[in-house]
Amino acid sequence: MSTTPTLLLLLLKQVLIDSVKITLRNKQTFLSIFALTTLPLSLLLFSLSLSSHPLKSHVFHLESLASQAPTRFEARQVWKESRDDAVSLFRIKLLYFLPSYLFSLTASVTAVTATSLAYNGKSPNLRSSLAAVKSNWSRPFATSVCNYALLIAYSLVPRTLAAAIFASSGSGFFVRVIGSGLEIYLMAVMGLGLVVSILEQRYGWEAIRVGSGLMAGKRLCGWVLSGLFVMVTAVIARKLEDVMDGQDLMEQSSTGTMTRVVVGIEEKFGWVILYGLVVLWGYVVTSVFYCECRKHHVIVSNENENDTV
């Protein structure tokens, strides 16, 4: 049965209130998880953006010059320089990827485990959450790989349809808006699938399939929750862009890059903290949403069995 507006608001209220209660009742555990995982993750992501932004802007500038070059020879020279900068940009992202992913994986397992324990009336602590990482890391790892593959594959669809089918800018914009809405829903399903892989003996595509099944009747609620976090992170990303505006795009020395990163983080350290809290809060809310969906799923299954008997 689909979620009516009243039931949607009640479920959203229940999920958010329970998330606040769980966090406040276990402040020490979640503050420890924040300090050890999502805060370092936020610092890494902000550092990556600040250090790669000038190079990325330079690549876009060179591509624009190449498209307007008067001769093919000049265009080839500009494209060569752009390709070299793109390779350097890829190396920077590769350097940041492994530590960022490890912090992200650890944050998801610890936060989801602590939230699940608290939701079920138990007292989580940092030790039990970290122990879950050691014993359960392989399942969320496999599921996260599937999530990344699914997101990359889907991200090409709206742009391809807008370019291939719709010629007018208005139609192309409409397709991108619809595609963004579907992507937010897909992120909700994948987030629930990740929680499934942490709390159940499932992983990969099966965990994502189970997560989608658990959302039956509550898909709109999952979409709204996912959209809220997308909006909050978009605001933080915009603030980060404000920091990067006006930077010297041609400054490529390691000293200049380090200075830019340190100054940028100092200027917006409050946003760095906020982003880390938002990431942690996202895991808590998604975990509570999973618990609500799982509880409803069990009740419905029992009712169906009684009807059959």
Tokens of 134: 């050691």
Radius of gyration of the chain (CA): 22
Of the candidates 179, 180, 282, the residue with the CA atom closest to the CA atom of residue 225: 282
For residue range 49-64, what is the model confidence (pLDDT) as tens digits? 877 766 666 656 555 6
Q: Is the pLDDT score of 25 beyond 90?
A: yes
**Do the Cβ atoms of 184 and 226 come closer than 8 Å?**
yes
The average pLDDT across 210-232 equals 91
Nearest to 33 by CA among 133, 101, 142: 133
Q: What is the mean pLDDT of residues 146-167?
A: 71
**More reliable by pLDDT, 64 or 11:** 11
More confident position, 5 or 43: 43
pLDDT at 303: 41
> What are the residues whose beta carbons fall under 8 Å from the beta carbon of 95, sequence distance 6 or more?
none
**Least confident range of 12-16, 90-94, 217-221, 294-298:** 294-298
Residue 124 has pLDDT above 50, yes or no: yes
Average pLDDT value for residue range 102-124:
94
Average pLDDT over residues 39-43: 93
Q: What is the pLDDT of residue 249?
A: 46
Please tell me the distance from the alpha carbon of residue 140 to that of residue 106, in angstroms, as a whole number.
10
Q: 264 vs 237, which has greater pLDDT?
A: 237
Question: Phi, psi (5° rounding) for residue 116?
Answer: -65, -45
Give alpha helix (H) positions in 200-218.
204-214
Polymer length in residues for the chain = 309
The amino acid occupying position 300 is V
How many angstroms separate the CA atoms of 76 and 262, rounded? Answer: 36
Q: Decide: 109 and 116 in contact? Cβ < 8 Å.
A: no
